[in-house]
Amino acid sequence: MIVNIKDIKNDFKSFFIDVQNGIKSSINFNEEKLKIETEKRILSFLNKHGIDLTSKVQYEASNIGGTVKITGRIDALYGNVVIEYKKYGILNKKSNLNKGIKQLREQYLNKLQEKVKPKFIGILFDGINIIFIKFNKNTSDWEERQEIFNQDNLYEWVLYITGSSKKQVAPQLLKNDFSLNQDYVTKFINQLYNKLTSSKDERVNMLY
């Protein structure tokens, strides 16, 4: 199926309204309800336009890329996009906001190797507030941007997760793709992984 960008843009307003309806239905429930209502609408909208991420997203992931062990479990992981859901409106309180940001940074994002941090982004969401967490190469630290949830940052969210559908490089993922377990194959894949992640070729970095 060919992706029609014009159709996506035309449908985006109704999509945003649909997501808002899902958020409203989760107001008196916990963050799991918000996650379910939001995720199913995002995946359904993308699938309608020829973008199927159902096999890409991981829920309650205990590692990143099959190699990076983390503390706790990630609510939703789309390749290089780490998403954490919180109970509706809870991030309005500064202490809860700081706690949520700290969780994303310390339990997940800081576990990454320094060289891959700029490729990752964290998203914290409670139905009202959305926080994007990106790595700043100049300061060598994560930076947060908080906004009230709206159509524009939903579009940004969708752009991030659809961009993450490109292949994420990790030894275990490459090994799984080839369905090979022999020792010599594992050594080869580890060498391939090291070459890909250390490459300075722009075309390689775009793909991986």
Kindly report which listed range (57-61, 118-122, 156-160, 175-179) carries the lowest average pLDDT score.
Answer: 175-179
DSSP assignment, residue 54? T
Cα atoms in the 13 Å half-sphere on the side-chain side of 83: 26
Give percent of the chain above pLDDT 70: 73
Residue-wise pLDDT tens digits, 193-208: 565 566 555 554 544 4
Q: Model's pTM, two decimal places?
A: 0.76
Mean pLDDT for 88-99 is 97
CA dist list (Å): 157 to 9, 124, 138, 160: 14, 11, 24, 5
Q: What are the CB-based long-range contacts (under 8 Å, 24+) for 94-102?
A: 97/129, 97/131, 97/146, 100/124, 100/126, 100/131, 101/131, 101/133, 101/144
**Nearest of 177, 180, 187 to residue 65 by alpha carbon:** 177
Higher confidence at residue 43 or residue 193?
Answer: 43
At residue 158, the pLDDT reads: 93
pLDDT range class, residue 4, cuts 50, 70, 90: low
Q: What angle do CA 139, 171, 76 make, to 5 degrees?
A: 65
